[in-house]
Amino acid sequence: MNAMSRAFCVGLLMSATCGAAATSPPPVEAFGSLPAFEAARLSPDGKHLAVVQPHNNESAIAIYEIADLSKPPHMVAVPDAVADGVDWPNDDRLICTFRLNQKEVYHKDVFQWARSVSVDVNGRNEAVLLNNWKKLKYNFGGSAIVDQPPEDPNHVYMLAYDTPDTHDTQDLWNWHLGVFKVDVTTGEGVEVMLAPKGAFQIPMDGHGHPLGFVKHDADLSSEVVMGGHVAGTFNSKGGGGPEFVGLSNDASPTLLVEAQGPTGITGLYHWTTPGGVSTALFADQHYDVDHEIRDEHTGRIIGVAYADDRMRASYFDPAMQAIQTRLEKTLPNQTVWIVSKDAAGASYLVVSESPRNPPTLFLYTPAAHQLMQLLQAYPGLQQSDLGDMRPYPYKARDGLDIRAYLTLPPGKDPHNLPTIVMPHGGPEARTLLGFNWVAQFFASRGYAVLQPNFRGSSGYGRSFVTAGDGEWTNKVQFDVQDGVKKLIADGVTDPKRVCIYGANYGGYMSLAGATFSPDLYACAAAFAGTFDLDRLHYSGTKFESVATSIWERRLGASSIDSSAMEAQSPSEHADQVKAPILLMHSDKDVTVPIEQSEIEERALKRADKSVQFIRINGDDHSLSYALTRIQMLTELEKFMAANIGH
């Protein structure tokens, strides 16, 4: 039966429990293939469904008819580009967003380009948004939609950078943030506001009118300007200031900001003019707001997401919260998300997942309390293929509480297991209790997987974040070491078979672990890691910015004295490494340049260490293509088997 039309196999049980138990680990393709759906959206009239789906080893937008889901979808794709998302401004047209990493015409470096394309419900009559604006070609990110007025469904409002002088495009320091009104049928746009130099945000009122702008000066002091007057000031240095996120969903809407409360926990607050941060709309006692939930038709903020062990949704409207609660009861022990609804609220798209149940998309009709399964993100995986993931809290050696998660291999006695430590990226990010395709791949191959939220991780308040500042080779590493030592003491882990693997900042943690804790790990692997911190920090410029100030805060270092960065760079201490190393990096990575892995490889070879470097051709920082994901997992499987094989 077609996956788009069948209902549950047994009542409302999750689809991953259906079918016979697996007798052998699933192939690498079952984990490495792109998810069968992402970014699902219903049209306002509820007649069409659009999702990001795999298409010829890439991703595309698939458009289905709800009345006949068995019909093949209309596909919208851009050659070599990655489909990022979809929006429905009206019933007849949808806006598809694509990104592509490639070299700029006059520059040797790779940049990420983003564009929005409007198509009809049959995937035809396409129009690139802002196609009549000559300076679009100078904007890498020409896809940011900031307002969709419900009373004018034929237009959206977009952000792009412009110059006051219509002929001046060469002075990079004279580009200003602007707002453009764009016809979704023709793609043609007209500029409605050009903000002053230094503006980085333009809040909108939900009806196509800019409310003002937020700007910062060279010293990173920031101003909020509303109605032509300064409505508040704060300091952006180190990333500690409030973040303007949108408007409340009230009859008299107010501007909302994410800000820290008295205990350092980030909540959602009203912003008053004048006065600044005012009363809390949502503030948890223990966990930061992760992101806001918006009404997709008005853009207004209708709820928040936060995470304890799982991601949680909290709605301000009692009726919406009642639907959320009902869905959570229907799908117990799952993380449940309402990802889209039609304009009338007659039908909803819902995604649920848990560690052993990969994301599943449902169509929910409240009137009938009917929940129909539409798509499984990883249809090649069954529950029996996947490992049990559980909280594994412990105390660091200085008494700090560390939240961590342990995934155990299916069908294995949790004793004396080969173990992979998998630190997250960021570092201001965190691991949650949920499905992770890399961790579950490792578990399916017989490894226990530890994912610690070391100090510096987000979600637990500002003090937990800043506790990692300047401690990348000390207390942050100790947090990870202490988790491994607890696993050994509990008898779960074989102390001679521990490997560490991570991506991005997790890649840094992996090589830092092998460098500064050389006797703990039998091997280390990294994808897109950062290893020469001084080199990455400069990135060709020394001017002060919020981003550079955040990195300097995290490193406890400044651009004036690079010694602290060198002291924390694995590439500067390659002689300390004892374990075999695997490095992998995409050649079109614009987040962490591939030269970071090249530098580390050269340093390890000079020190006569065992290192293998695999260049991932044609992909980006996120591993957006199935073939390269499969390549990465295949190389990891061989490397782990050779060094800590079970």
**pLDDT for 19 beyond 50:** no
**pLDDT tens sequence across 102-133:** 766 555 677 778 899 999 999 999 999 999 98
Angle at 510 between CA 507 and CA 513, to 5 degrees: 145
Q: 105 is written with which tokens? A: 């015409």
CA distances from 149 to 185, 209, 244, 298, 416 (A): 15, 9, 19, 6, 59
Higher local confidence (pLDDT), 367 or 533? 367
Burial class for 319, CB neighbours closer than 10 Å (0-12, 13-18, 19+): exposed
**pLDDT tens sequence across 456-487:** 999 999 999 999 988 888 999 999 999 999 99
- Can you give the pLDDT at residue 6? 35
DSSP state of 565: H
- Can you give the pLDDT at residue 235? 73
Cα–Cα distance, 367 to 122 (Å, whole number): 29
Residue range 553-577: mean pLDDT, rounded: 81
Residue range 243-266: mean pLDDT, rounded: 87
- Can you give the pLDDT at residue 560? 55
Cα–Cα distance, 599 to 566 (Å, whole number): 13
Query: Whole-angstrom distance between the N-terminal and C-terminal Cα of the chain?
Result: 38
**pLDDT for 3 beyond 50:** no
Cα–Cα distance, 450 to 464 (Å, whole number): 20
- Can you give the pLDDT at residue 189? 94
Cα–Cα distance, 569 to 558 (Å, whole number): 15
- Can you give the pLDDT at residue 225? 83
CA distances from 333 to 315, 377, 406, 477 (A): 19, 18, 17, 32
How far, rounded to the nearest angstrom, does the alpha carbon of residue 58 sit from its chain's CA centroid? 19
Residue range 181-198: mean pLDDT, rounded: 92
Residue range 155-161: mean pLDDT, rounded: 92
- Can you give the pLDDT at residue 520? 95
Residue range 44-54: mean pLDDT, rounded: 95
Cβ within 8 Å of residue 114, ≥6 positions away: 84, 97, 98, 99, 100, 140, 141, 142, 143, 144
Burial class for 135, CB neighbours closer than 10 Å (0-12, 13-18, 19+): middle
Q: What are phi and psi for residue 433, nearest 5 degrees? A: -80, 105
CA distances from 517 to 279, 479, 509, 522, 549 (A): 46, 12, 11, 11, 28
**pLDDT for 34 beyond 50:** yes
Q: Would the CA dihedral through 549, 554, 556, 561 be positive or negative?
A: negative
Domains and CATH numbers, the chain: 386-532+574-644 (3.40.50.1820)
- Can you give the pLDDT at residue 558? 65
Residue range 262-279: mean pLDDT, rounded: 84
Higher local confidence (pLDDT), 184 or 240? 184
DSSP state of 210: B
- Can you give the pLDDT at residue 108? 63
Cα–Cα distance, 213 to 201 (Å, whole number): 6
Residue range 500-513: mean pLDDT, rounded: 94
- Can you give the pLDDT at residue 538? 56
**pLDDT for 71 beyond 50:** yes
User: Which residue in 442, 469, 464, 443 sits closest to 453, CA to CA?
Assistant: 464
- Can you give the pLDDT at residue 245? 85
Residue range 204-221: mean pLDDT, rounded: 82
- Can you give the pLDDT at residue 389? 96
Higher local confidence (pLDDT), 10 or 75? 75
Mean pLDDT of the chain: 87
Q: How confident is the model at residue 169 (pLDDT cuts 50, 70, 90)?
A: low
Cα–Cα distance, 616 to 152 (Å, whole number): 45
* Secondary structure of 268-296 in HEC code, one letter for each residue: EEEEECCCEEEEEEECCCCCCEEEEEECC
- Can you give the pLDDT at residue 486? 97
- Can you give the pLDDT at residue 537? 62
- Can you give the pLDDT at residue 271? 81
Contact 304, 268 (CB under 8 A): yes
Residue 321's SS3 state is helix
Residue range 505-522: mean pLDDT, rounded: 94
Q: How confident is the model at residue 7 (pLDDT cuts 50, 70, 90)?
A: very low
Q: How confident is the model at residue 220 (pLDDT cuts 50, 70, 90)?
A: confident
Please count the CA atoms within 13 angstroms of the CA of 65 that sit on its side-chain side: 7
Q: Would the CA dihedral through 132, 134, 135, 136 be positive or negative?
A: positive
User: Which residue in 366, 318, 309, 313 sits closest to 339, CA to CA?
Assistant: 313
- Can you give the pLDDT at residue 273? 67
CB atoms within 10 A of CB 139: 19
Q: How confident is the model at residue 633 (pLDDT cuts 50, 70, 90)?
A: very high
Q: 237 is written with which tokens? A: 């240095």
- Can you give the pLDDT at residue 22? 47
Q: 133 is written with which tokens? A: 């604006």
- Can you give the pLDDT at residue 114? 86
Dihedral angle of Cα 78, 79, 81, 84, to the nearest 10 degrees:
30
- Can you give the pLDDT at residue 346? 95
- Can you give the pLDDT at residue 13? 34
**Greatest mean pLDDT range, 274-283, 296-305, 459-468, 628-637:** 628-637
pTM here is: 0.90
Residue 455's SS3 state is coil
**pLDDT for 380 beyond 90:** yes
- Can you give the pLDDT at residue 588? 87
Long-range interactions of 279-282: CB distance < 8 A, separation 24+: 281/248, 281/256, 281/316, 282/314, 282/316
**pLDDT for 629 beyond 50:** yes
**pLDDT for 562 beyond 60:** yes
Cβ within 8 Å of residue 629, ≥6 positions away: 32, 33, 34, 623
Please give the share of the chain, as a percent, with pLDDT higher than 70.
Answer: 91
Q: How confident is the model at residue 544 (pLDDT cuts 50, 70, 90)?
A: low
Cα–Cα distance, 501 to 462 (Å, whole number): 27
- Can you give the pLDDT at residue 541? 43
Contact 477, 470 (CB under 8 A): no
**pLDDT tens sequence across 283-304:** 999 999 999 999 988 889 999 9
Residue 81's SS3 state is coil
**pLDDT for 556 beyond 80:** no
